[in-house]
């Protein structure tokens, strides 16, 4: 593949991707075991970065379903995603979030996007980018087209991500 078409593909993929996270606790520094920031008991922060970068709002702890809907509404409005779009949905755990909690969030993503008449081409769930001992998740939505699907369906094998080719 020549450089310009590859650049165009990657720019389109990037432009059609949105991510937002929520944190329920701080991460700790491996050297000291000290927390990198503080979050009041019973609070969660939307938009907080993996390393303690300030978020967009602090709220009282919400249910997993309420949290997923809040994030999805912000992501959908930002692109904007619309009815009929096909997406890849990704749930990333920040380090101390259990897989069960991530599956609960993913279930709500599937239900909510179906209500919005958006179809999920593929779901990804795991710890792709973490911070030590941090509780929380991020949700990413990637609007896809035929060309992006072609490359997504290929096998991938790296230290942080492995996927079989889709046939």
The catalytic position among 5, 15, 38, 51 is 51
153 pLDDT higher than 80: yes
1 pLDDT higher than 70: no
Domains in the chain and their CATH numbers? Answer: 17-143 (3.30.1180.20)
Q: What is the pLDDT of residues 69-124, one digit of tens each?
A: 999 999 999 999 999 999 999 999 999 999 999 999 999 999 999 999 999 999 99
What region, left, alpha or beta, does residue 31 occupy, with left being phi > 0 and alpha being psi -120 to 50 degrees? alpha
Q: What is the pLDDT of residues 26-58, one digit of tens each?
A: 878 888 888 877 788 999 999 987 777 778 899
The pTM for the full model equals 0.92
Question: Annotated catalytic, 110?
Answer: no
């Amino acid at each position: 593949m020549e450089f310009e078409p590859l650049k165009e593909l990657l720019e389109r993929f990037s432009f059609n991707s949105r991510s937002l996270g929520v944190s329920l606790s701080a991460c700790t520094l491996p050297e000291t075991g000290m927390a990198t920031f503080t979050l009041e008991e019973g609070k969660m922060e939307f938009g907080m970065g993996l390393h303690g970068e300030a978020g967009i709002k602090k709220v009282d702890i919400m249910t997993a379903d309420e949290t997923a809907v809040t994030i999805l509404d912000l992501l959908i409005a930002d692109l904007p995603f619309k009815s009929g779009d096909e997406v890849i949905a990704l749930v990333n755990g920040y380090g101390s979030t259990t897989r069960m909690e991530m599956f609960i969030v993913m279930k709500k993503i599937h239900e909510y996007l179906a209500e919005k008449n958006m179809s999920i081409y593929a779901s990804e769930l795991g710890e792709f980018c973490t911070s030590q001992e941090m509780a929380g998740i991020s949700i990413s939505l990637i609007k896809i087209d035929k060309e992006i699907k072609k490359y997504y369906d290929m096998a991938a094998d790296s230290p942080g991500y492995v996927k079989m080719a889709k046939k």
